């Protein structure tokens, strides 16, 4: 099963390893792992790899359902914006109300 995941990509391998690590008995992970790998038949291998990468970056414990929803909604194809980007050159401030507005005295 890991060989099949390796043909898809490193994020898929990481996800499959994570799935196997959740169960005490290896055979219990087979159904979920096969379901994830079979998604490459309906969607492309590249899309499955992107979905696995996205799920691993956003979820602590991704499942088949998470991967399927990412693929169905097309989140794997959306342009990924870098998170926590702060424009350090932006010096504008939001309009704030003064003490007069809140009943304060000058």
- pLDDT one-digit tens code per residue, 22-66: 988 988 899 999 999 999 999 999 999 999 999 999 998 999 999
If we measure between CA atoms, which residue out of 39, 36, 33 comes closest to residue 17?
33
Task: Determine, yes or no, domain membership for 92.
Answer: no
The residue range of the domain holding 13 is: 2-73
- Half-sphere exposure of residue 15, counting CA atoms within 13 Å on the CB side? 31
State the pLDDT at residue 79.
66
Output the CA–CA distances (angstroms, integers) from residue 4 to 14, 34, 73, 106, in the order listed. 12, 10, 25, 72
44 part of a folded domain: yes
Q: Which regions of 1-106 does DSSP assign to beta strands (E)?
A: none
Residue 96 lies in a domain: no
Q: pTM of this prediction?
A: 0.70
Q: Which of 28, 42, 39 is nearest to 52 (CA)?
A: 39
Domains in the chain, number: 1
Answer yes or no: is 78 within a domain. no
- Does any domain span residue 91? no
26 occurs within a structural domain: yes
pLDDT tens, 66-105? 999 999 999 988 765 555 555 556 566 666 776 777 776 6
Is 95 among the domain residues? no
């Amino acid at each position: 099963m890991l060989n099949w995941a390796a043909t898809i990509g490193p994020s898929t391998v990481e996800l499959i390893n994570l799935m196997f690590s959740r169960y005490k008995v290896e055979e219990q992970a087979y159904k979920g792992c096969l379901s994830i790998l079979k998604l490459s038949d309906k969607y492309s291998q590249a899309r499955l790899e992107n979905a696995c990468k996205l799920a691993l970056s956003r979820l602590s414990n991704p499942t088949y359902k998470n991967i399927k929803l990412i693929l169905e909604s097309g989140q794997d194809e959306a342009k990924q914006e870098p998170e926590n980007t702060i424009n350090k050159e932006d010096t504008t401030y939001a309009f704030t109300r003064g003490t007069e507005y809140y009943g304060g005295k000058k």
